[in-house]
Structure 1
Amino acid sequence: MLSKRIIPCLDVKNGQVVKGVKFKGHEVVGDILELAKLYSDAGADELVFYEISASVEKRLLDVNWVQTIARYIDIPFCVAGGIKSVADAAKVLEQGADKISINSPAIARPALIKELHDEFGKQCVVVGIDSFYDVKTDQYLVYQLTGDPNASSQTRYKTQDWVKTVQELGAGEIVLNCMNQDGVRKGYDNDQLSEIRAICDVPLIASGGAGTMQDFADVFKQSQVDGALAASVFHKNIININELKQFLTSQNIASRLCN
């Protein structure tokens, strides 16, 4: 049985790690390198970095910090932010990132997913999906440009339809960002994640809502996701990664224990 992955998420803005609630009100929580080293040493399975303002500002993320991260940590890491072409992705990967993630650029030009798949291989291409539950329509809808509350907008896609499309185009992994749960620490959206798991043939990563160790156990058991991404519970020292993995193991959930 493959071990479930614990993945700290670092939202990057202006060279600092920030965190908001429901994609709004971002506050600085620390230095990129310091937090990356902290989580790597603590036993994280991988890290995800989102330069949240890059797509909104129509630019590629700053690759300089990517090179620095690669020099100092020894676990896999994925990077996202304004990657709109094979050339953009190459710049990021050349600096040492193991995977690249695309979100809004894929919505703007879905063919980008296939281009990245063909150039770098399926294992390298992650698609992030920002999914919002709309009470009025009782549907999960895909949003874009969520790094800026003023730019964030609903797309033409329903979440399930977009999940199917990105897989057909060659996505090797999907990170489902459940916007309604983001930053509130009340548990993952297991109903939505279970629905997506049923139609997802590639690794699925849950994002949004972690507040307790039990929340991690629940998402692995109930939604059968491959990994759980979280930010504030790690940034604010609410959950210790090593203790979390010991807890998951006690719950008969496969986890790579720290040395």
Structure 2
Amino acid sequence: MARVRIIPVLLLQNGGLYKTVKFQKPQYVGDPINTVKIFNEKEADELVLLDYTASRDKRGIDHKKIAEIAGEAFMPMAYGGAIRSFDDAKKVFDDGYEKVVLNSILFSNTALVREIGNVYGAQAVVGSIDVKKNLFGRYKVHGFSGTQSSGKDPVEWAKTLEEAGIGEIMVNSIDRDGTWEGYDLDLVEKVAAAVSVPVIACGGAGGFSDFEKAVQHKASAVAAASMFVYQKKGMGVLISFPTGKRLNN
């Protein structure tokens, strides 16, 4: 059996780490360097670092900061935020990251996936799909920190990204983000069943049992933020990781 990766997601903004609830109400949770050092000690499988408002705010990549963060990491790192071209991606890889995470740029340029993959390999390109239910209860893909609906169905969008050459898909429920209510398992399973590339479940995890449920619903890996940076729901910051616990699929 393959061991399932457990991935902390860190949200970067203005040099600090923040955590949101349903992509809103960002709360400062700490310094990224210190946080990465803690995850080193706890032997996290890999980390995802997202400058989550960079595309929305039309900012560039803070290469000095993200290189500093990667330089402290003993595990594989993925970075997303304001990657708009192959040159942007190349600089991120040069900064010390093993993967790039693409989101909003894919609405206008899916060719970027193949352009990066041809040089660094498909496994180095992650497609992030942020999903929210509309007033009619239908899943729709959103971009730019969840502020703009693309009108796309997440299952069809996942298929499009796979055809474009994406190596991995991270599906994130905006409605579950920061709620500790568990993943949207229906969403995870629908996307995972539609593609052959690995699917990372994200958005809503509140405990190890949520990881297990996601794997049972076809997730290849699980990601979380709140449960890794808070003691419990509604309580203070305490960086943690389920050391010694392993998932298999």
Tell me whether the two structures share a fold, i.e. TM-score over 0.5. yes
Which residue of 1 is the match for residue 139 of structure 2? 140
Q: Distance in 1 between matches of 2:208 and 2:168?
A: 24
**Structure 1: which 5+ runs fail to align?**
none
Q: Name the structure with the higher helix share.
A: 1
**Which letter maps to 1:25?**
K
Percent identity, aligned pairs only, is 34
Shift of 1:135: 4.1
**Residues 61 and 80 in structure 1, CA contact (< 8 A), matched pair in contact too:** no
* CA deviation string 1:184-227 (max 9, x = no partner): 00101111111111112111100001112211111112x12111
**Which letter maps to 2:157?**
W
Which residue of 1 is the match for residue 235 of structure 2? none
**Which letter maps to 1:53?**
T
- 1:180 equivalent to 2:175? Answer yes
Alignment match of 1:237 (pick from 228, 231, 239): 231
Which residue of 1 is the match for residue 200 of structure 2? 205
**Superposition RMSD on alpha carbons, in Å?**
1.6
Shift of 1:70: 2.5
**Residues 193 and 218 in structure 2, CA contact (< 8 A), matched pair in contact too:** no
**Residues 128 and 174 in structure 1, CA contact (< 8 A), matched pair in contact too:** yes
**Which letter maps to 2:229?**
H
**Which letter maps to 2:117?**
H
Tell me the SS of whatever aligns to 2:9. Answer: strand
Q: Distance in 1 between matches of 2:7 and 2:97?
A: 15
TM-score in terms of structure 1 length:
0.89
Q: Distance in 2 between matches of 1:209 and 1:82?
A: 24
**Which letter maps to 2:2?**
L
Which residue of 2 is the match for residue 159 of structure 1? 154
Q: Distance in 2 between matches of 1:8 and 1:190?
A: 19
TM-score in terms of structure 2 length:
0.93
Which residue of 1 is the match for residue 236 of structure 2? none
* CA deviation string 1:105-125 (max 9, x = no partner): 111222222222223210110
* CA deviation string 1:92-150 (max 9, x = no partner): 110101100110011122222222222321011011000112241x3211001016xxx
Q: Distance in 2 between matches of 1:61 and 1:18?
A: 17
**Residues 40 and 46 in structure 1, CA contact (< 8 A), matched pair in contact too:** no
Which residue of 2 is the match for residue 193 of structure 1? 188
Q: How many residues align?
A: 243
Name the CA shift for 1:101/1:55 in 2 (closer, same or farther; >3 Å): same
Shift of 1:39: 1.4
Which residue of 1 is the match for residue 123 of structure 2? 123
Shift of 1:240: 4.1
* CA deviation string 1:215-247 (max 9, x = no partner): 1111112x121111111111113484234x42x
- 1:224 equivalent to 2:223? Answer no
**Residues 8 and 47 in structure 1, CA contact (< 8 A), matched pair in contact too:** yes
**Which letter maps to 1:224?**
K
**Residues 60 and 88 in structure 1, CA contact (< 8 A), matched pair in contact too:** no
Which residue of 2 is the match for residue 19 of structure 1? 19
Which residue of 2 is the match for residue 89 of structure 1? 89
Q: Distance in 2 between matches of 1:39 and 1:129?
A: 25
**Which letter maps to 1:84?**
R
Tell me the SS of whatever aligns to 1:4. Answer: strand
Which residue of 2 is the match for residue 169 of structure 1? 164
**Residues 51 and 80 in structure 1, CA contact (< 8 A), matched pair in contact too:** yes
Shift of 1:156: 3.2
